[in-house]
Amino acid sequence: MVDRILIRDLLVRGIIGVRDDERTRPQDILINVELRTDTRAAGASDDLADTVDYGALSKRIVALAETAGYGLVERLAEEIARLCLADERVEGATVRVEKPRALRYGRSVGVEIERSRG
């Protein structure tokens, strides 16, 4: 059995893109993360030490997105997945990174990746 911790709709501003205008002004970046982990110990103990600290992880994700300055959303998604898997309790992660209003006629464009331990 695998449980899931969901981090939904983190909206941050950062430099992302390959065009000259994208490299000079921050853009909105929408991030969603699903962590696959076992939450039974935390459910029994009610102790933060027994689970993934999603508050601390969210802060690291926001800091990365605001400061990294990657060209591709694929790269940002990959680095977010690495942050997630740095906690040994996380068995796998699904990461979605979107750029709202990046396309003239679209609400957003983005990627979704799945990564797992091993």
Q: What is the pLDDT of residues 73-83, one digit of tens each?
A: 999 999 999 99
Report pTM: 0.94
Contacts of 91 (CB under 8 A, 6+ apart): 2, 36, 37, 38, 116, 117
Query: What span, in angstroms and rounded, lies between the C-alpha atoms of 104 and 118?
Result: 39
Active site residue 59: no
Q: Which of 87, 14, 18, 16 is nearest to 57 (CA)?
A: 87
- What are φ and ψ of residue 76, in 5° steps? -60, -40
Contact 109, 98 (CB under 8 A): yes
49: domain CATH number is 3.30.1130.10
Q: What is the structure's pLDDT at 59?
A: 98
For β-strands 27-37 and 3-14, DSSP reports them as antiparallel
Percentage above 90 pLDDT, the chain? 88
For residue 69, give both structure tokens: 């300055």
For residue 101, the SS3 value is coil
What's the total number of domains in the chain? 1
Contact 41, 29 (CB under 8 A): no
Q: What is the pLDDT of residues 26-71, one digit of tens each?
A: 999 999 999 999 999 999 999 999 999 999 999 999 999 999 999 9
Owning domain of residue 9: 3-116
Options 35, 99, 102, 110, the catalytic residue: 99
